[in-house]
Amino acid sequence: MSDKITNNPEIELLTAELASARRELQWEASLERVRRVTGEMTEPSDLTEVVKQIKREVDVLYGGNILEVDLMLEADEETLQFWSIVEVQEVPDSMEQFGQFYPKKPEPPHPVIEKMWASEGDFNEFSSDLEEMWKVHASLARYVPHEAELLKAVLDSGSLERMWFTVSSIRGGRMFLAWAVQPPAEMAIVQPRIAAVLGDAQKRVEELREANIRTREAQIEAALERVRSKAMGMRNSDELLEVVATIHQQFSGLGLECGVFWHARYFPDYYEKALTSIDGSKVLTLMILPRDFSAVPELAAWERGNEKIGVFAFDAEQGGQYMEHMIAKGRFLEVDPHSVTPEYVRENGGLTFVQARTTKGEIEMLFAFSGEEALQKLHEHGKTDVVLVLSDINMPGMTGLELLERIKSDPPPLPVCMMTAYDNDDYRGKAAALQCDGYVSKPIDFAALKEKINSFIV
């Protein structure tokens, strides 16, 4: 009787179907746990937790036969980026490498990566013998030495004669598993499902990156608005130094590592430099220096050029010498004993200058059709934001000379140039007495006008 039950094809089919259904439930439960980890992601770096969870799930279902789970993405035309979980029984320390970079065409070659990247579609499987795996070791030793050590431990142990790899294509790359034994046939169905869940995690990473970018842009704009507010509240040019300190504070608030901030105001033969404290809370040092950068040729070349940003790195000795050069050449108007010193620079391993030009920004032209309207615009926009006033002498209502007098009498005094078609000594004498800063002849030479405006920009 028992033999009849055992050999009953219907019973055997039912048993196989139940086993398949049970296996499907196991896999669906595993994938659901991976989905849950994906849903809990709050930062792009949380992709590492998804890869870890995939490793946990395959370990539960296949014991210790999975050596490695990897996510391999194309960083650019020449570089791959890996998220890896590697566990080797012969080595007590497991290895987690996230975001590591590896060339697409390494030297010496990595035969497994070449095969993986050539694999396309939902599922591919291949194996490598020991000779090929030693070639993999030679390539790893150059780029990721620790992983090479782990592979060497496996190869030296004699526990493996071959390694198997199952590969699935994902957006922008591949997901692969490294096996100590030949993978079960069901992986041809299961691994593409894992890859699909991993694709959901990749979409989540993109969403989080975009959200982070928007948040960061809002933080930066808020910091800039605080700087603008400080600048618009200036009552005289000396308060520009407080704006410099505010910029430092906003950099720190954004989590950007920074040291001393300075503002330099250039003149033909010298420049004025104001330096903040290291924490940026206030301006500690005011000095005048000759406009001579020959001690640092790279800096001198930047000063002569038009690049907006300059970055100049000094090691400990170079930085100390530069500070000593600045102290020896400079004339101090104000100095604090807690300001940066050559000794401080040497103790901290040097310094890096990041310089940005502020002297040649875009100029907005505002037009007024009377002296009264000009004064109203100055009131609306704030005098500290105005570079230069160009005024006709003859205007309806208030004359240009009356406008000049009003502007100069209301601090802070602005540069004012008079525009006239008449070379009249009487007009020039009256304008000079009212502290006129220059003249622009009509018809206007716009190239000369541009030079005139630039001469007033600091």
Containing 417, the helix (H) or strand (E) segment is strand 416-420
Judge contact between 287 and 331, C-beta under 8 A. Answer: yes
What is the rounded CA–CA span in Å between residue 455 and residue 458? 8
What is the rounded CA–CA span in Å between residue 120 and residue 122? 7
Provide φ and ψ at 356, rounded to 5°: -130, 135
Q: What is the pLDDT of residues 268-306, one digit of tens each?
A: 778 888 777 777 667 667 788 888 877 788 888 888 887
Say whether 371-456 and 30-208 share the same fold.
Answer: no
Q: What is the pTM of this model?
A: 0.58
Q: What is the pLDDT of residues 103-131, one digit of tens each?
A: 888 999 999 989 998 888 999 999 999 99
Sheet (strand 79-86) strand order = 95-103, 79-86, 66-74, 173-179, 162-170, 124-129
| CATH level 2 (architecture), domain 30-208 | 2-Layer Sandwich (3.30)
Looking at CATH, the fold of the domain delimited by 371-456 is given as Rossmann fold (3.40.50)
Spans of the chain below 50 pLDDT: 1-2, 88-95, 360-361, 458
Judge contact between 97 and 147, C-beta under 8 A. Answer: yes
- Residue extents of the structural domains in the chain: 30-208, 258-356, 371-456
What pLDDT was estimated at residue 137?
92
Q: What is the pLDDT of residues 27-81, one digit of tens each?
A: 999 999 999 999 999 988 888 888 889 988 988 888 778 888 888 888 888 898 8
State both tokens at 262: 């300075």
Judge contact between 458 and 447, C-beta under 8 A. Answer: no
